[in-house]
Amino acid sequence: MNPEKLASLQSFCRDEAAFEEVKKIVLGEFRHLEAEINQANFSLEQQKALFHVITRLREPLDLETIFQGTATEVRQLLQADRVGMFRFYPDSGWDDGEFVSEDVDAAFDSAMYQKIHDHCFGEKFAVHYEQSRIQAVADIYNHGLSDCHIKVLSQFQVRANLAVPLLQGQKLWGLLCIHQCRAPREWQATEIDFVSQIANHLGVALQHAELMAELQAEVQERTSAEQAVKSLNQGLQRAIIELTAVNKELEAFSYSVSHDLRAPLRSIDGFSQALLEDCQDQLDANGQDYLRRIRAATQRMGQLIDDLLNLSRVTRSDMHPGDVNLSLLASSICSDLQRSHVERQVDFVIQNGLIAQGDARLLQLLLENLLHNAWKFTSKQPVARIEFGVSNREGVIPTYFVRDDGAGFDMAYIGKLFAPFQRLHSIHEFPGNGIGLATVQRIVHRHGGRVWAEASVNGGAIFYFTLASEASEEKKGDGCD
């Protein structure tokens, strides 16, 4: 207190004893007021520090910047030797981690990025810290700490330790650590409360950082997806351009085959016929037989060209999807076959009410090839049976079939079945050019389905096919239930 004020106060006292008593009372009151002022100043500085932390949270700052600024302010305010943010390694069971930010007095070593292992923590203490436990240790050597805990703290020259949990939501992310290294320290209730408030606000920062990381990952994922779609669209556009060019070349080739190759074939066939008609008397039997073979070969070549062109048209023609009554198509085809060969006895079994989604013209061609095949390969049966229907469904996709009890085939050669111009029987046994099943396969593929077969030699055959467009219709129907 000011000596002049004490002298002035002494003049009001009757004697020295009274003065000493008054002096004692005044000095006590002065110290009390001084302590209150100091406490008020400390509280003010606390509020400033909290305000700065909250301000940082509202700014677009990274977690490292928030941590570093907070550590510096807290250390200065508490006059501690070290303030650090310790992070546990994910999936370590809270036994391992490292300091990721700190502010430390130059007289002491940095604890940054030193890997720390404490096998006691995860097993004994982590669950308590997740429930917001705070550890305030005035002296690590006189607080009953475990040896492993003392070993961890002493390597950083710690004498007094204040550890507050950093929670990311409900999950223990790490610890906010306040270290006094020069000497033991009694942590005041106001200091503990202040550090707890700082830790709570840092927990908010951790949650923000987690949400921001998730958002950035989602943005990156969407950006990558958009880029992939863009690349896919560009590739698709190039494929369309290339496909258009290929189709034009195919059309040109088809035109060449149709016109340029037919002309010499017609000439060979025509001149061969002229020789047979005009020079028959000059040709012996062998010569006439050779000419007939030439004519048959040219006519077969013409038929192969027609089949090849038809196969090409199946692949290139535009599709016009709609509801198609497969049962009606099959009945019409079977009736035509029966009228054209009234001498044959064939039992046709056609399931009613089979409606499919697809191109009517292509599906008619598909059924014509399958039913004609069945008709052909049952030709040696005295009484044959041909069926068309739908079998048990595979998921939501109807599986249609054409079954016969004819010649069948060896399943060892199934790989050749749908290849163009591949035959599993001789042409003398069963006529044909081997193009029908290739046509069937291309039609099915154009509808997004698949086709396969099962057979045995002399045990008949069954051909299955699906139309994927029907699967989408079924799924739409299921979604409306």
Most confident of 33-37, 135-139, 428-432: 135-139
For 275-328, the pLDDT digits (tens) are 888 888 888 888 888 888 888 888 877 777 776 676 666 766 778 888 999 999
For 399-413, the pLDDT digits (tens) are 999 999 988 888 887
Is the pTM higher than 0.85? The answer reads no
Q: What pLDDT was estimated at residue 61?
A: 65
Q: Which region among 199-203, 327-331, 358-362, 424-428 has the lowest average model confidence (pLDDT)?
A: 424-428
For 440-479, the pLDDT digits (tens) are 888 898 888 889 999 888 888 999 999 875 444 444 444 4
Instruction: Answer yes or no: is pLDDT of 125 > 50.
Output: yes
Cβ proximity of 153 and 132 under 8 Å: no
Query: 101 - beta bridge partners?
Result: 85
Q: What pLDDT was estimated at residue 52?
A: 67
Most confident of 20-29, 208-217, 448-457: 448-457
Most confident of 16-30, 94-108, 413-427, 465-479: 94-108
3-state secondary structure the chain: CCHHHHHHHHCCCCCHHHHHHHHHHHHHHHHHHHHHHHHHHHHHHHHHHHHHHHHHHHCCCCHHHHHHHHHHHHHHHHCCCEEEEEEECCCCCCCEEEEEEEEECCCCCCCECCCEECHHHHHHCHHHHHCCCCEEECCHHHCCCCHHHHHHHHCCCCCEEEEEEEEECCEEEEEEEEEECCCCCCCCHHHHHHHHHHHHHHHHHHHHHHHHHHHHHHHHHHHHHHHHHHHHHHHHHHHHHHHHHHHHHHHHHHHHHHHHHHHHHHHHHHHHHHHHHHCHHHCCHHHHHHHHHHHHHHHHHHHHHHHHHHHHHHHHCCCCEEEEEHHHHHHHHHHHHHHHCCCCEEEEEECCCCEEEEEHHHHHHHHHHHHHHHHHHCCCCCEEEEEEEEEEEECCEEEEEEEECCCCCCHHHHHHCCCCCCCCCCCCCCCCCCCHHHHHHHHHHHCCCCEEEEECCCCCEEEEEECHHHHHHHHHHHHHC
CA distance 433 to 430: 10
